[in-house]
Amino acid sequence: MGNIKLQSETLQISVYCEVILNILNEHANLSLSKTIVFSYLVKKNKYESQRIYNGQHSKDLMFKSLSLLSGDFDEFSNSIGHILKSIHILKDKGLIEFEDGILKRKFNKLDSKNLYEESAFLKNAIEESRNISDKQFLKEVLSNV
């Protein structure tokens, strides 16, 4: 039983490594709190059969994206540990750096398709999230989870 749990955790961490690298490949840098939330949303969005929002939406994208967390507290909470372990691995491998609360890519922008790419909607929501502080962002996250 312990072996299956370890394999499951390894798989989750490897998925989040890919998601984080893809986010930083597209956006170059992002705060830790925003990286955690958007990594979860990108992964979750991959398995959603019906997407509520798409790239055609243009107003309040960040708030709409955070509304996707609604009712998902347990799964989001469980994912935070995997995301932080992924960040730690990527930092140890020299692919990213962490400075003043900001994750930055340490690699040249890659031009490749990946399994866990962010949708146009989430891409725009991440860019919109740059306009508010991390403190306000986390308040919005907590009000939606």
pLDDT tens digit string along 11-37? 999 999 999 999 999 999 999 999 999
Over 60: is that where the pLDDT of 62 sits?
yes
Residue 35 gets the label, from left (phi > 0), alpha (psi -120 to 50) or beta, of: alpha
Q: Which of 105, 134, 97, 119 lies closest to 43, judged by CA?
A: 119
pTM of the predicted structure, to 2 decimals: 0.88
**Which pLDDT belongs to residue 63?**
86
Question: Are 95 and 107 contacting, i.e. CB atoms less than 8 angstroms apart?
Answer: yes
Question: Are 46 and 116 contacting, i.e. CB atoms less than 8 angstroms apart?
Answer: yes
